[in-house]
């Protein structure tokens, strides 16, 4: 499972906590864990060893039976707000995903 390209460079405990939070987000609607950044981009939050790991994601609801959550990328947050450039990157990747997605 590869949620973002640098997952293997994070200390194994940090990776475990990120994966734990992904599993937890499937079961709960905790705003401390999963926060809406704009109309379509969400932030999965994980804090480990004083570092704030973030995964940005969006929903693919094109299948009426299931909703697929797509993580676009991850980064270590260094400021109070999520940088606009990271949100734009997630939006751009979301658009690219839907443009290249085959019809079902």
The predicted-structure confidence for 62-86, as pLDDT tens digits, reads as follows 888 888 889 999 888 888 899 999 9
> Is 19 contained in some domain?
yes
> Is 1 contained in some domain?
no
Q: Other C-beta atoms within 10 Å of 32: how many?
A: 8
pTM: 0.80
The boundaries of the domain holding residue 86 are 7-100
The predicted-structure confidence for 2-58, as pLDDT tens digits, reads as follows 344 455 555 667 788 888 888 888 888 888 888 999 999 999 999 888 888 999 999
> Is 67 contained in some domain?
yes
Residues sharing a CB contact under 8 Å with residue 14, sequence separation 6 or more, in sequence order: 46, 48, 49, 51, 53
Domain count, the chain: 1
> Is 2 contained in some domain?
no
């Amino acid at each position: 499972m590869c949620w973002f390209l640098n997952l293997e460079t994070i200390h194994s405990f940090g990776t475990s906590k990120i994966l734990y939070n992904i599993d937890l987000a499937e079961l709960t609607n905790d705003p401390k864990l999963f926060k809406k950044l704009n109309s379509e981009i969400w932030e999965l939050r994980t804090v480990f060893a004083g570092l704030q790991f973030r995964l940005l994601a969006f929903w693919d609801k094109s299948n009426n039976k299931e909703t697929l959550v797509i993580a676009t990328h991850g980064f270590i947050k260094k400021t109070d707000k999520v940088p606009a450039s990271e949100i734009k990157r997630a939006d751009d990747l979301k658009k690219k995903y839907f443009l290249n997605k085959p019809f079902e």
